[in-house]
Amino acid sequence: MPKLLRADQMKKCIGCYSCMLACARTLQHDFSPRKAAIQIRSVGGLQSRLVVDICRGCTDPPCALVCNCNALTPRRGGGVRFYKDRCIGCEKCVEACIVGAIRFDEDNKQPIICIQCGTCVKYCPHEVLSMHEV
């Protein structure tokens, strides 16, 4: 069964960025969490709450819909598959994702796409993140 990333326990988040570091090192081979497909941030500073921008696993993903070069295709169960070699870096997917889960990597001129692999979940020390069967 395919699984999708969920962050439904954000109230437990301590803001350690372990998930972001894990995503960046595993998928982008980069130390910088700027490269991660999951982004934790505070709204209103650390006195307020932490929020997360993640791929919501749309079953009819708008990012894939606008991708005319077929670099993004719908994934069974939700979300997308990303074929890097087909991507021409047009950034349309970035605009199409209204929940802000896709950012553009200026270094390699490609979007940073969550592939629902669950690596971030393995490094969450506070059970904030989980993979759900769909």
Partner 1 sequence: MTRTSSIRILDINLTDKKFQVKEREDLAPFLGGTGLATKLYAEYVAYDKPPLAQEQPIIITCGPLSAIFPMATKAVATFRSPLTGEWGESHAGMRIAFAMRFAGFRAIIIHGRAERPVYLSIGPNRVDFKDGTPLWGMPTDETGRILRQISPGQGFRSCLRIGPAGENLVAFANVNVDTYRHFGRLGLGAVFGSKQLKAAVIYGGNSEPIPDPKQYREVYDTIYHLAVNTDIMEKYHGLGTSGNIAALSALGALPTENLQKNTFEGSQAISGEAFARDTLVRKVACTGCPVGCIHIGVRRKLFAEGHEYESTYIAYDYEPIYALGTMLGISTQEQIFDLIDYVEQSGMDVMSTGVLLAWLTEAYQKNIVTKEALGIEPAFNNVDNYMKIMDNIVSQPNELYRLLARGTNQAAQKLGGLDYALTLGNHEMAGYHTGYGNLVGLALGPRHSHLDNSGYSFDQKALRNNLSREQVVREIIAEEKWRNVLNSLCVCLFAREVYTRENICAALACVRINMTGEGLEKLGDEVFRLKNQIRLQLGYNPGNLNFANRFFETPAMGQELDREILADMINMYRSQAGI
Q: Which residues bind partner 1 (CB under 8 A)?
A: 11, 14-18, 21, 25-26, 29-35, 39-42, 44-47, 105, 107, 123, 125-126
In the complex, least distance from residue 7 CB atom to partner 1, rounded to whole angstroms = 15
C-alpha to C-alpha distance for 94 and 92, rounded to whole angstroms: 5
C-alpha neighbours within 13 Å on the C-beta side of residue 18: 14
66 vs 115 by CB, closer to partner 1:
115
CA–CA separation, 19 and 112 (whole Å): 15
| CB-nearer residue toward partner 1: 58 or 124 | 124
The DSSP bridge partners found for residue 53 are: 39
- Cβ distance 104 to 112 under 8 Å? yes
* Six-digit token string for 44: 């209103």
CB of 36 to partner 1, least distance (A): 11
The residue among 76 and 122 lying less far from partner 1, judged by its C-beta, is 122
CB of 64 to partner 1, least distance (A): 26
Question: Looking at beta carbons only, is 74 or 123 nearer to partner 1?
Answer: 123
Q: Minimum Å distance from CB 43 to partner 1?
A: 9
Q: Are 34 and 24 in contact, with CB atoms under 8 Å apart?
A: yes
Strand pairing class (3-6; 130-133): antiparallel
